[in-house]
Amino acid sequence: MKKIVSLLFAVSAIYLNTWAVGIREFSSSDSSTLLNIAIQNPLINGDAVYSARVMLNINPDDYNNSNRMSESDTEEEPVSKNTVYPNPNDGTMSLSYYIDADAERDGQGNHLSRAFPEIYIHSAFEEDVLFDG
């Protein structure tokens, strides 16, 4: 908490000595202080970080900042829009499936067919059923 207060005090002092009295240029010392504050993590060091960024007119994305969250290299698995209903059932069921409107199409506008993989469904009431696309 002490650090947050001291950072806010430093930024406020620079503000009061410059912008508040109409001076829009900073000394090299003030610029250095503001930059050191501006590149910090605002979630840890508070509002002083945002204030310093505004006063310097900087975008933190322009700097290689180790405090930033890294972008994920893994792709999330798509949520299936295919369903079997009713579930549970008595052995009679329906399959509802989704075809993406942006899926590949042939020259006549028809969706290019993709064969369904072989699907085995085990039923407690009858023999296994094979659906072959």
What is the full DSSP assignment across 62-106?
A: GS--TTSPPPP-SPPPPPP--EEESSS-SS--EEE----TTS-B-
- Amino acid identity of residue 36, one-letter, is N
The token pair at 31 is 């610029």
3-state helix, strand, coil in the chain (%, to 5): 35, 10, 55
Q: Is the peptide bond before 78 cis (omega within 30 degrees of 0)?
A: no
Residue 54 lies in a domain: yes
Is 19 part of any domain? Answer: yes
Whether the pLDDT of residue 89 is over 60: the answer is yes
Residues contacting 81, CB < 8 A, separation 6+: 97, 98
> What pLDDT is recorded for position 70?
59
Mean pLDDT, to the nearest integer, of 27-40? 94
Total domain count for the chain? Answer: 1
Q: Which residue has the higher pLDDT, 16 or 65?
A: 16
Q: Which domain holds residue 55?
A: 2-62
Asked if residue 44 is part of any domain, the answer here is yes
Of 25 and 104, the structure prediction assigns the larger pLDDT to 25
Where residue 60 falls (left for φ over 0; alpha for ψ -120 to 50; beta otherwise) is alpha
- pLDDT bin (cut points 50, 70, 90) of residue 94 is confident
pLDDT > 50? residue 103:
yes
Q: Which residue has the higher pLDDT, 38 or 120?
A: 38
For residue 53, the model assigns a pLDDT of 94
Instruction: For residue 94, tell me if it sits in a domain.
Output: no
In the predicted model, what is the mean pLDDT of residues 90-113?
A: 64
Taking residues 82-86, what's their average pLDDT? 73
Backbone φ and ψ for 130, nearest 5 degrees, come out as: -110, 120
Indicate whether 117 belongs to any domain.
no
In a domain, 130, yes or no: no
- Residue at 77 is within a domain: no
Q: What's residue 86's pLDDT?
A: 77
Q: For residue 106, tell me if it sits in a domain.
A: no
> What pTM was computed for the model?
0.49
